[in-house]
Amino acid sequence: MSILVIGATGTVGSLVVQGLAKQGAQVTAMVRKTGGLSLPAGVNGVVADLTNVESLRQAMSGVRTLFLLNALAADEVTQSLQALNVAREAGIQRIVYLSVIHSDLYTDVPHFTGKHTVERMIESLDLPATILRPAYFMQNDIAIQPVIEGYGVFPMPIGAKGCAMVDVRDIADIAVAELLRRDRSPEPLPRLTLEVAGNEVFTGESAAAVWSQALKREIRYGGDDVQAFEAQLAQNAPGWLAYDLRLMMNRIQQLGQIPAAGATSKLEELLGRPLRTYQAFVAERLQAR
């Protein structure tokens, strides 16, 4: 029986597949179409779609453990609930679900509230699952690196409350550890929720300062204008997505993304090493130019 990874081609999911393969696990990566995808040696691919229930049934046949990562989509709630229901019908009792930090607090942000709805299903049905709640991805800032270097501005309007930014490689490593822990257990394990965040909290100003130090020139914070942020995104993304992310940024400015006390020490105990830092991420990005 295998570990099925849904969301296997994305930033986090692809790292989860690689991590599981390195640990010698029997892994199946769910993809939406054949061709053009290079999977690690020993990893099987299965073609299925979260909007196609019959394809999900086929993909989950013979699966022991499930990693569910659902990319942002207008019908994300339906897709995720269908996947979990099909998993339950298939008798899968080992699940890791990738949610988002403060999903219960960002009540006006569609994809946060959607993930909280999925969490509520897991909790109300007492599904044997680990819920991972990551904070702001450090890798979000790869897209803005040209602006930072070219214009001297950190343009992500994250405000002054602060985000405990986390490296996606740490998220993936934690997901792999939880998948293997559940997969190797002879019995289904109790439900667990983990806030996945970094050790240091960054504001717009302090994030800009990290880039300033690394580049050895001034990088200023671009400010809190979420309307301009939405307009910029809408040039290359669907309007619903640009608006969703605008609402997210507004909540980040109001509430921040800060984990509960002791959350990161649990992660480091699980990983057996320190969490990656934003300073190291920025230095790595500059070396990769």
H/E stretch holding 80 reads: helix 76-89
Percent share of the chain, pLDDT over 70: 98
Q: Which tens digits make up the pLDDT trace of 108-121?
A: 999 999 999 999 99
Beginning with the edge strand found earlier in the chain, give each strand of the sheet holding 192-196 in spatial order.
Answer: 44-47, 27-31, 2-6, 63-68, 95-98, 129-134, 192-196
pLDDT-derived band at 78 (thresholds 50, 70, 90) equals very high
pLDDT for the residue 33: 76
What's the mean pLDDT in 168-184?
Answer: 98
Positive/negative CA dihedral, 202, 10, 195, 274: negative
C-alpha neighbours within 13 Å on the C-beta side of residue 211: 27
Which domains, and CATH codes, for the chain? Answer: 2-134+167-197+260-275 (3.40.50.720)
Q: Give me the long-range contacts of 265-268 (CB less than 8 A, separation at least 24).
A: 266/194, 267/170, 267/174, 267/194, 267/196, 267/197
Contact between 62 and 2 (Cβ < 8 Å): yes
Q: Using CA atoms, how far apart are residues 281 and 143, in angstroms rounded to an integer?
A: 14
Q: What is the pLDDT of residue 167?
A: 98
Task: Render pLDDT for 3-57 as a digit per residue (tens, 0 to 9).
Answer: 999 999 899 999 999 999 999 999 999 998 776 567 888 899 999 999 999 999 9
Rounded Cα distance between 235 and 150, Å, is 19
pLDDT the model gives residue 226 = 98
Residues 6 or more apart in contact with residue 100 via CB below 8 angstroms: 106, 111, 112, 115, 133, 134
The whole-model pTM stands at 0.96
Strand partners, 173: none
Mean pLDDT over 137-159 rounds to 97
- pLDDT above 90 as % of the chain: 93
219, 284, 224, 227: which is closest to 253 by C-alpha? 224
